[in-house]
Amino acid sequence: MPQITQLATVFASQLFWLAVVFGIIFFVVGRRMVPQIRSTVAVREQKIAEDVEKAKAARAAADTTEAEWRARMDEARLEAARVAQEARRQIALENEARIKAALDKVDAKVDKARQRIWTSVQAARAELETVASDAAQQMVEQLTGLKVGGDEAARAVAAELQMLGGQGQPDPAMLGKGKSKRAASRAR
């Protein structure tokens, strides 16, 4: 059979061309494409690290705002208590109308301060959510190539923040609670 005698020649020729093709693939993929892919991955990792740092900075700013809010609240409470105590000691029953007016003024200032602080905390939280939403969109797009809508990313970030403990935020409806207790004590 002549085909069997030609088998060694054909097989050697195929092995030669197989080695040539694999050599070309090795040099094209291994020497040219792999370094490009590695550099792209390094750039992505750096961008993700930068975005994480920005998110940490935004969170730190929000924490600072909250700490300032708490300090102002403590100062306002101390000041209100001091004014009320001093006024009770110095003013007799005939000056009760003046005491009530002073306490109402303090309550109004405290309520305004609480509202400003609440607004600041909400603005910081919204900024944090916006930054986190943008970072999440970019990460998903860079890592998977999929484009995520801004609303969908914002919902996902809000859900994550809710899971991480976002429930501890003060309720604006509760801002006037201290005033009602003080008014009830004055009525006695």
Question: What pLDDT shows up at residue 162?
Answer: 81
pLDDT digits (tens, 9 = 90+) for 27-63: 888 888 888 888 999 999 999 999 999 999 999 999 9
Taking a C-beta distance cutoff of 8 angstroms, is the pair 139, 49 a contact? no
Task: Tell me the helix, strand and coil percentages in the chain, rounded to 5.
Answer: 90, 0, 10
Q: Is the pTM of this model over 0.75?
A: no
